[in-house]
Amino acid sequence: MRTSIATVCLSGSLTEKLTAASRAGFDGVEIFENDLLASPLTPEEIRTRCADLGLSIDLYQPMRDTEAVPADEFARNLRRARHKFDLMRRLGADTVLVCSSVSPLALDDDDLAAEQLSRLAALAQEFGIRVAYEALAWGRHISTYDHAWHVVESAGHPALGTCLDSFHILSRGSNPKGIEDIPGEKIFFLQLADAPLLAMDVLQWSRHYRCFPGQGGFDIAGLLRHVLRTGYDGPLSLEVFNDVFRQAEAAPTAVDAHRSLLVLQEAAGITQLPPPDFPSGIAFAELATPDAQPVTQVLDALGFTRTARHRSKPVDLWQQGEARILVNTGTAARRESTALAAIGLESPDPPAAARRAEALLAPVLPRRRTPQDIPLDAVAAPDGTELFFCATSRPELPDWQTDFIPVDDHPAAATAAAATDLAGIGRIDHLALTQPWHHFDEATLFHRGVLGLRPQESVDVADPYGLLRSRAVSTADGAVRIVLTVGAAPTDGDAPAQHIALATDDVIAAARRFSAAGGRLLKIPANYYDDLAARFDLTDDELEIYQELGILYDRDAGGAFRHCYTRTVGRVFFELLQRDAGYQGYGAQNAPVRLAAQHTA
Amino acid sequence: MRTSIATVCLSGSLTEKLTAASRAGFDGVEIFENDLLASPLTPEEIRTRCADLGLSIDLYQPMRDTEAVPADEFARNLRRARHKFDLMRRLGADTVLVCSSVSPLALDDDDLAAEQLSRLAALAQEFGIRVAYEALAWGRHISTYDHAWHVVESAGHPALGTCLDSFHILSRGSNPKGIEDIPGEKIFFLQLADAPLLAMDVLQWSRHYRCFPGQGGFDIAGLLRHVLRTGYDGPLSLEVFNDVFRQAEAAPTAVDAHRSLLVLQEAAGITQLPPPDFPSGIAFAELATPDAQPVTQVLDALGFTRTARHRSKPVDLWQQGEARILVNTGTAARRESTALAAIGLESPDPPAAARRAEALLAPVLPRRRTPQDIPLDAVAAPDGTELFFCATSRPELPDWQTDFIPVDDHPAAATAAAATDLAGIGRIDHLALTQPWHHFDEATLFHRGVLGLRPQESVDVADPYGLLRSRAVSTADGAVRIVLTVGAAPTDGDAPAQHIALATDDVIAAARRFSAAGGRLLKIPANYYDDLAARFDLTDDELEIYQELGILYDRDAGGAFRHCYTRTVGRVFFELLQRDAGYQGYGAQNAPVRLAAQHTA
């Protein structure tokens, strides 16, 4: 179906908005009146600009406080409408949105509303314009979609139809099933917006917290299915008022917006995308660093061994059990300090995974390789992290490890292999990635839509210097877990730290081995252990060991979680953890203590 | 009364919080458990640190999910409590806060709650500790203060009392009059927090949006009066969970917090401060600039005349009617570009105004003057703007103008005087000051408390690159108006612009004169005038003139408002405005168009 976006969704000047919408692949736009008023372009110039960008103008909006008012007031409203219809003719827009009145002058009189809307539609018709009447959730007398449709139906004017808006319908708790009673040709427009499920005043909720479909808690796909059963064939159009998107760069927001409509259409069964290729594990995590020494010193102490190096690039593979970490000194020019630059996702069918990502507007990365290298399918996540879809030791598929030449002759390898048994790090449990402030919702949708990961509840975490928000996405079996975190402030001097969490069956042994090898664990205050003693039935011996090593403890219905942290190198630190099979979380309860300790470390 | 603050109100490590609280003048603190757990200091060290800082530890908090539970669970809770009481003994804290349970295990059984609280209190008593039981607004079975008091009363244990929290009481809409039925000696603690009046889930409201008394919409002074009638003589303690304060620097937040308690005590009639000295006008606005030429060129075109210069400092006085603008090139070293650095407030009694400001913790500025200069009373506002309390041409008081030597010989003076008649700028209508993001609530309370200005409703203004928030404070007669604005993001590369709004009786003449003198007015898009034509009954001639000059138009029940803008110089621009006597606003409706035009200018 055709896709459209209201200019109010995007940041910037009208022309910046139009350009971003066009580049992201939208077919049309809704022109939000305030954006037109603030533009130095004439309506004719805007029309031309849209045409040049391949955008139709699907809606002009909004016209407010029009209907069900005393005659003299309605005369003024018609006068105002005539101006706007004239403007729309110049603009080349043929549908106007009329919102149900919130004016104190409005009368609770459906017949009057129908009569005046009919007269408005008659005037519109003279200009070749259609009127799409929509119930605002906070409309004074008309606030539900079925009520608005009832008024439109009784007005019975061919140039008058209804506009459905998913936010106004679902925020009121209306049953969208009734949409099917409306003839499709009388649905003149469909606006789509999701929102987090907040218990708050609906006007404030609508004006500040809307988000793109799939980013909130509403069943937009379900609503869309009802609309489609009516035969509606107009555009799917996004109308999202969101304080964060207003500040964010227009280009990525427009891509995020368009991706949301693709995922939505797939969910509603009206489009087919390459199916998700659920990753079965983390093949590797790649650190980029201007200086390998500090981070490899930590890896070494953790029991990792440098097992191979890339045949053509300055990249080393460090391994322990199934945990593989690449240390790349080649991209250092782009990095100020050590950072998590890429993730290798173990993919059942790497090219298929890449096709889905590309179909969902993920930037496909150029394959930086020499001719003999294995082709690697890679895209960029919204935070810039490179995602490689790859296969490890699966004979039927090209193996990314083929490009790495074993470092057999390295004397440390044998020693380290022995140490590995001791340390027992088996795999990467999860990766924690700090997200750019303006694109947290986008990141969740990306990981869900592109990678098929399931988002968990968002949790607040109190850092001493501000509240962080954290949301885990994972596969059903927990084989891939990524924790997305967003900082307290939109812009920040220091880029916040990311981390690699390493799973072990014996965190005490792993922590001891790390310390014995010269590694420095994050020190946790004694007061924390005093609180553990009060909250859990742990033995004094256990507590003493935990305190000595800085091991934090949590428990849920499914089991226990024990974890400790290395000091930070550049932007990266490591977590050692021991997870009972049934434990679902990430130790969020302990994060404030960990964060405070990192600030004082 | 003694003042106290919960450590959770302030940003940073526990020791940073304690230091800020002490420096701001608090007598004591509530230690929030998470702050203690995250601190590397032992309880004994924290006790010593508090003592060194002159702070008592008035409360340890919170103990959760304690009462009205099955026996085995309560046994675990008592075990946990014993740990905490032992900790409190080491800490030297003698009162613990117990919040009403939110646990799914809690039973709806007041007798059981009373019995278990009584047993908890008996244990506490062994440690010399009192238990203050508080109803959370979202408590599972006990959620109102009178219910909590009923349980405490029926428990009848001397070491058990109640804790009152203004947020929990007022957010539920409880009538605080009933507080007077509680004996003062059974109110073991009083926590104070205000909040904006939001229609939202009370838990989210409480956790993210609390603010200091006087910054929100609750009648905290009224509640306090009820509490005082019981004979309560414990501390007034602030407990505020606020996402913004969590990020802000602790020191200014603590000052803001303490100021709020001073203003509150004055309002409740339990302390006397030097009374407000309501300013009767704006004596001058002072611009600091590294280069006077660009801004004086604008002033000149606006019809201002350089009438005098300071006897000892590089400061010129530019005047037109009662509008006086100082141009100071002496402080340029501190300024990157032209900025509004100081405001002269016409004060009935300048030393009295300064005494009140000082009593309300405004930093008193050193008097940078030579011995013969008039003493000027000055303080710093939260955004760093210097506020001078002064007298202009009032024979009974020292006149700040005495330090300025007239520039009689300046040939432009006569010409400019003639021009003044033409331009007709009479006075400064208002000053618009962009506030530091983390201190917007503080700024409102400062202007209300220190200067006696009345805050109007906060309004959202859509800038193309983010939503701004704007709040005017003014004297009852509108003689002094200051518009406080806060940007979309906490930190910003460019410091946003401020402006000086100049009142004229004929904005068309003033704008024409400015243009004729070579001034450049901000160009407003034609689309805006098309919309004006649709919305208002203005003649084509009027509209044409407005469009030619870039004059914006607004109207409310009291009259019309016409205004236009100069281009920005450094961080400052000027507004020319014509305000009908009854018009109350500032043209906020037009601000998005103006902001968009400034971005493209």
Q: How does pLDDT run across B90-137, given as a tens digit for each residue?
A: 999 999 999 999 999 999 999 999 999 999 999 999 999 999 999 999
- Name the packing angle between helices A71-91 and B526-535 (round to 10°): 160
Residue A440 has pLDDT above 80, yes or no: yes
Residues of A in contact with B546 (CB under 8 A): none
Considering the entire predicted model, what is its pTM?
0.94
**What average pLDDT does this structure show over B521-541?**
97
Q: What is the total residue count of chain A?
A: 601
- How many other CB atoms are found less than 10 A from the CB of residue A49? 17
Closest in B12, B527, B533 to A464, CB measured:
B12
How much of chain A exceeds pLDDT 70, in percent? 95
Taking alpha carbons only, the member of B595, B583, B282 closest to residue B431 is: B282
pLDDT-derived band of residue B600, with 50, 70 and 90 as boundaries?
A: confident
Residue A89 has pLDDT above 70, yes or no: yes
Radius of gyration of chain B (CA): 28
Kindly state the tokens that stand for B374: 């008039």
Closest in A246, A491, A600 to B491, CB measured:
A491
How much of chain B exceeds pLDDT 90, in percent? 90
Closest CA in chain B for residue A73: B535
Kindly state the tokens that stand for B150: 């009923």
Give strand ranges (E) for A400-513. Answer: 404-406, 425-435, 454-463, 466-474, 481-486, 498-504
Enter the DSSP assignment of A181.
G
Residue that wins the pLDDT comparison between A128 and A490: A128
Helices (H), A337-439: 350-359, 411-423
Q: Which of A37, A42, A76 to mutate to test the interface with B (most CBs of B within 10 A)?
A: A37
Closest in B87, B199, B530 to A201, CB measured:
B199
Residues 6+ apart with CB under 8 A from A156: A118
Contact A528 B40 (CB under 8 A): no
Q: Burial, A103: exposed, middle or buried (Cβ in 10 Å; 0-12, 13-18, 19+)?
A: middle
First to last CA, chain A: 55
Residue B415 has pLDDT above 70, yes or no: no
How much of chain B exceeds pLDDT 70, in percent? 95
Phi/psi for B583 (5° steps) reads -70, 130
Beta strands A481-486; A466-474: pairing state: antiparallel
Closest CA in chain B for residue A208: B467
State the residue for tokens 């533009």.
Answer: A39
pLDDT of A408: 74
Question: Cα separation of B237 and B163, whole Å?
Answer: 11
Cβ atoms of residues B258 and B24 within 8 Å:
yes
pLDDT-derived band of residue A222, with 50, 70 and 90 as boundaries?
A: very high
How much of chain A exceeds pLDDT 90, in percent? 90
Contact B42 A526 (CB under 8 A): yes
pLDDT of A411: 55
Question: Cα separation of A156 and A118, whole Å?
Answer: 7
| DSSP, residue by residue, A546-561 | HHHHT-EEEEETTEEE
State the residue for tokens 């000055």.
Answer: B378
Contact B534 A34 (CB under 8 A): no
Q: Burial, B271: exposed, middle or buried (Cβ in 10 Å; 0-12, 13-18, 19+)?
A: middle
**What average pLDDT does this structure show over B445-453?**
96
Closest approach of A264 to chain B, Cα-based (Å): 27
**What average pLDDT does this structure show over A255-280?**
96
Q: How many CB pairs under 8 A join A and B?
A: 158
Give Cα B461 to chain centroid, integer Å: 19
Closest approach of A512 to chain B, Cα-based (Å): 22
Residue B421 has pLDDT above 60, yes or no: no
Taking alpha carbons only, the member of A273, A403, A286 closest to residue A335 is: A286
- How many other CB atoms are found less than 10 A from the CB of residue B215? 27
Enter the DSSP assignment of B438.
G
Closest CA in chain B for residue A487: B247
Average pLDDT taken over every residue of chain A: 94
Which conformational region is residue A18 in: left (phi greater than 0), alpha (psi within -120 to 50 degrees), or beta?
alpha
The partner residues of B236 in beta bridges, in order of sequence, read: B3, B190
- Name the packing angle between helices A14-23 and A250-267 (round to 10°): 40
Contact A12 B465 (CB under 8 A): yes
pLDDT tens per residue across span B301-338: 999 999 999 999 999 999 999 999 999 998 655 667 89
For B21-54, letters b (16+ CB in 10 Å) and e give: bbebbbbbbbbbbbbbbbbbbbbeebbebbeebe
> What does the CA dihedral A238, A239, A242, A245 come to, rounded to 10 degrees?
50
Cβ atoms of residues A450 and A427 within 8 Å:
no
Residue A333 has pLDDT above 70, yes or no: no
State the residue for tokens 């049934």.
Answer: A582
Q: Which of A244, A458, A465 to mutate to test the interface with B (most CBs of B within 10 A)?
A: A465
Contact B462 A246 (CB under 8 A): yes
pLDDT tens per residue across span A580-591: 999 999 999 999
Question: Cα separation of A3 and A5, whole Å?
Answer: 7
Question: Cα separation of A55 and A15, whole Å?
Answer: 12
Closest approach of B513 to chain A, Cα-based (Å): 25
Closest CA in chain A for residue B91: A527
pLDDT of B493: 54
Residue A534 has pLDDT above 70, yes or no: yes
pLDDT of A493: 54
pLDDT tens per residue across span B543-566: 999 999 999 999 999 999 999 999
Residue B54 has pLDDT above 80, yes or no: yes
Closest approach of B377 to chain A, Cα-based (Å): 36
Closest in A36, A246, A528 to B466, CB measured:
A246
Residue A421 has pLDDT above 60, yes or no: no
Closest CA in chain A for residue B197: A201
User: Could you tell me the strand order of the sheet in which A572-579 lies?
Assistant: A454-463, A466-474, A481-486, A425-435, A498-504, A572-579, A559-565, A552-556
Enter the DSSP assignment of B186.
G
Cβ atoms of residues B41 and B15 within 8 Å:
yes
Kindly state the tokens that stand for A527: 């007061």
pLDDT of B76: 96
Residue B494 has pLDDT above 90, yes or no: no
- Name the packing angle between helices A292-302 and A411-423 (round to 10°): 50
